[in-house]
Amino acid sequence: EAGVAQSPRYKIIEKRQSVAFWCNPISGHATLYWYQQILGQGPKLLIQFQNNGVVDDSQLPKDRFSAERLKGVDSTLKIQPAKLEDSAVYLCASSYPWGYNSPLHFGNGTRLTVT
Amino acid sequence: AQKVTQAQTEISVVEKEDVTLDCVYETRDTTYYLFWYKQPPSGELVFLIRRNSFDEQNEISGRYSWNFQKSTSSFNFTITASQVVDSAVYFCALRRTGGGNKLTFGTGTQLKVEL
């Protein structure tokens, strides 16, 4: 079974620039998550999709972050404009629908550095 | 509110030593799930175990064992005869039943196993 794919692996941008991350979940996983992991901290959920609908985006800074999951498969997370405090690893995860109580499977993440 | 505390920021052991990683959680829910994930240097979070709040039986999987004590709100993880490949950051996480599969992570414990 292929895992969760993310790209790019690393990205360095200047503050106020924009950036986008891409995620392809495990085939058959209807639920997709984006987590932000700041150095030395545990991952924090930014947004959760069930198919192409948003289930939870309560911790997404909507003034600068946006995410979409067209067709209920791949997803893109965008930051515009970036701030220094956005430097973190952005992890994508997927699972079967939460009603199935399945564990989350994570990708390798995208390490973002904002200078 | 839910909270997961991993008081040990970093642990260093010599190979073949046993090591226990502590996890204490807070929740008002009567039904919940607890998880352990491993994050090696590659960055991917690897699922290790899931335990529901009704099952307090300890579990052993090879060199790994987990001790769940509801009375003390703890879910500790022990590695027996540690190996260099066990070096990673380990995260404990909590999920509410019906909470949309949202995980609340602790801050992680960095385990270093040296020869």
B42: tokens are 């590659």
Q: Does A28 touch chain B (CB under 8 A)?
A: no
Q: B9 or B58, which is more confident? A: B9
Average pLDDT over residues A21-46: 94
Please provide residue A26's backbone torsions phi and psi, each rounded to the nearest 5 degrees: -65, 140
Q: What is the pLDDT of residue A101?
A: 67
pLDDT band, very low/low/confident/very high, at A103 (cuts 50, 70, 90): confident
How confident is the model at residue B99, as a pLDDT? 59
Quote the CA–CA distance of B28 and B38 in Å, as a whole number: 26
**Cβ(A73)–Cβ(A21) below 8 Å:** no
Q: Give yes or no for residue B18 having a pLDDT over 70.
A: yes
Q: Which residues of A touch B31 (CB under 8 A)?
A: none
Among candidates B50, B99, B108 on the partner chain, residue whose Cβ is nearest the Cβ of A42: B108
Provide, rounded to the nearest whole percent, the portion of chain B with pLDDT above 90: 70
B98: pLDDT confidence band, cut at 50, 70 and 90? low
Give the chain A residue whose CA is nearest to the CA of B109.
Answer: A40
pLDDT at res. B60: 85
Confidence tier at B55 by pLDDT (50, 70, 90): confident
Cα B11 to Cα A80: distance, rounded to the nearest angstrom = 38
> What pLDDT band is residue A98 in, cutting at 50, 70 and 90?
low
**What are the tokens at B6?**
């991993």
Query: DSSP states of B22-59 as a string?
Result: --EEE-S-SSEEEEEEEE-TT---EEEEEEETT----E
- Determine the average pLDDT of the residues in B23-38: 93
In this complex, do B44 and A106 lie within 8 Å of one another by their Cβ atoms? yes
| Contact between A35 and A44 (Cβ < 8 Å) | yes
Reported as a single tens digit per residue, the pLDDT across A61-96 is 999 999 999 888 999 999 999 999 999 999 999 998
Q: What pLDDT does residue A52 have?
A: 86
Q: Cβ of B101 and A98 within 8 Å? A: yes
